[in-house]
Every structure is written in C-alpha cells, then in structure tokens.
Chains A and B, each alone.
Chain A
Amino acid sequence: MKPSVEQLGNLLALQRDERPEEGYWQGFLCEFHQTQRERVVEKSGLMNGLGRISAWFSDLGPSKWAYGAGLAYAAVTVAFFLTPRDVEKENTPASPVSYEVVSPPTPPAVEQLNQLDLSPSTQGNIGEQVF
C-alpha cells in the first residue's frame, strides 16, 4: 500500500517549519556586513592600484612610449611562445571513388530560329540603336 499524494503532501509539509536556531540571523547579518566591507576594501584597493599605475605611467613623460613599446614587445613574445603549435594531421589514405559521368542532355533544336527574320534591315549595327 502506497501513501496517497495528499498523505505524502502532509508528510512533506511537516518540513515547512524548517528554520535556523534562534539568534542565527544576528550572526548572519554581522558576517554579511563584514564580507561586504571586505569586498569594498578589496575593490577600492584594486582601483587604487590601477590609479597608481596609470599615474606613474603618465608621469614618465616621453620615455613612456619606450616603456610601452617594450611591454608590447614582451606581450607579443609571450603570446608567441604560449600559442600551441598546430598538431600535424594524419594523412588519411585516399580511396578511389567511382562514379558514372552522365553526359548532359542535348538541348532540343530550336526550330523557331529559322522563322526569325534575321535580314540585314532588322539587325541594325553593333553599338547603334535603330529607331
């Protein structure tokens, strides 16, 4: 005998009151605020670091271009060595393919062509329009 869906629902509903112990949320809020403060400090520290680097770079004057070029050269070199080489692909053996070449069907002769008036008076000259 199986429990009915309603009986099952009643059993499951007993877990509806699942709650943390008393005082849990006070501790939770303290931890939450602590984590948020740490994140703000971390973020501002990162922003300060980036600000300092950009300030130092702009204070360098004309030599910053030399530094920039050096950094770019280093980045390209590192990228070159880190890029994986192409793995040689195995040559798959060629297998002969046989197929029948079907010759294109010959178009039916246009009989009407003979009926066309191709006399010099109606042809006109090349590049000229005859009105």
Chain B
Amino acid sequence: MPLRVCNFSLLLTTPILMFRQTRPPDPDQDLVTRAQQGETRAFDALILKYGDRLYGLVYNMTSHKEDTHDLLQEIFARAYQSLGKFRGNSAFYTWIYQIAVNLTLNFLKKRKRRTSLSLNDMDSPVQQDPALIDTTHEANPEKQTNLNELQIKLNEAMRKLSDPHRMVVTMFDIQGMSHGEIAKVLNTSEGTIRSRLHYAHLQLQSALQDSWEERF
C-alpha cells in the first residue's frame, strides 16, 4: 500500500520536473543584493558593467548623444529606486534592459509629439565615430568612403522605420540578441519578432538598393 502512494506522488511530480525550465543563477545576484542593502558601490559596478550595452541600445534608437545621456540617467535612476522591488524572477540584466526599452520607447513617443526632429538635428554615428571605420579597408580609401556613405544611407533608412521595428533591428542585428531574448524583453511572441524583423529588413534592403548598385 505505501508503495502505491509513492508511485502516485511520483506521477504527480514527474511532469512538473520534466517541464520546469531551470534558469542559470544570475551572475549579478551578489551585486544586486549588496545594492539592495544600500551599498552604492555595488550599483556603480552594475552601471559600469551594463552601461556600454545600454548606451548602444539607447543611442541607436535616439541618434542623439544628449538624449542618450539623459535617458541613461533616468534608466539607472529608475532601476535604483525600484531595486527593492526586484525579486530576481529574471536576470538583473533582462530587468534593466526592459526598463531601458520601455523608457526609450516612451521618450521617442514624447519626442515625436513635441517636435518633428529633423534628420539634420541627429548625430550621424558613422561619420563621427572612428571606432566604426572598417580597418580592412584602410588601404583602400575609396572603398572606405563608399562604406561610410552606405552606412549613412543605412542610418537614414533606420530612422525612417517605426520605433518598434527599429527597436527589433537594434536588438537583433546590432546588439546580437536572439529572437527569444527579444521576445522576452518586449513581452511578445517570437513570431511577432520574426515578422517585424522581416518587414524591417525588407525596408532597409529597398532603401539601400540604389547605393548598393552604385558601390558594388
């Protein structure tokens, strides 16, 4: 009789164990706990750890350095104030990335309403950033110029995309995130992400068509 009870309990627990997704421990758990206890240096370490990636996300969305700086201040301030509510249901990085995405999309909506920002008001990252110069083309200045012009065209085309489409392209192609990760952050299905990416890629390909024919 006890054996039967034991089997029954196994039957109940096995499916749960089979389908439970084991999440790897958050690498930032220690820093987050210390920051939650009021240690400001721990939060500074988190800023320094993820600052560059969040900067990339926000800057590629806003194309404006001052806006990026202000938004990053707001993102980290919001995270710092809400740190007490962070229960570790997701990794800290996913959590702060979601905050960044939401605040950035809200900011872009407000900016659109406030003023229609001219393309000339925006920074052109490729022209100004020496890190983006392709070193493989150093010996061929003409090819490098072509590439820069292509990048400028690409940035213009990116700005013409809607915010959700640009966000998906930024996360997938620039930040190198997977469809699943993007879906989790944007709280939507992978199918939606794939569909948005497909549409955005078609738009970008069409926008680059003329320049591509000329250059290559």
Known: A1-B212, A3-B212, A5-B205. A18 touches B73 (CB 8 A): no
Contact: B154 with A12, CB < 8 Å? Answer: yes
B212 proximity list for chain A (CB < 8 A) = 1-3
The interface residues of chain B, by DSSP majority, are classed as helix
CA distance A131 to B173 in the complex (A): 90
A31 proximity list for chain B (CB < 8 A) = 73
CA distance A1 to B132 in the complex (A): 25
Is B60 located at the chain interface by the 8 A CB criterion?
Answer: yes
Is A73 located at the chain interface by the 8 A CB criterion?
Answer: no
Known: A9-B173, A13-B173. A35 touches B208 (CB 8 A): no
Known: A1-B213, A13-B174, A14-B132. A8 touches B208 (CB 8 A): yes
Is A19 located at the chain interface by the 8 A CB criterion?
Answer: yes
11 A/B residue pairs, CB under 8 Å, sorted by A:
A1-B213, A3-B208, A8-B173, A9-B173, A14-B134, A14-B151, A15-B126, A18-B131, A25-B51, A32-B73, A35-B77
| Residues of chain A at the chain B interface (Cβ within 8 Å) | 1-3, 5, 8-9, 11-20, 25, 28-29, 31-33, 35-36, 39
| Residues of chain B at the chain A interface (Cβ within 8 Å) | 40, 44, 47-48, 51-52, 55-56, 59-60, 69, 72-73, 76-77, 80, 125-126, 129, 131-132, 134, 150-151, 154, 169, 173-176, 201, 204-206, 208-209, 212-213, 216
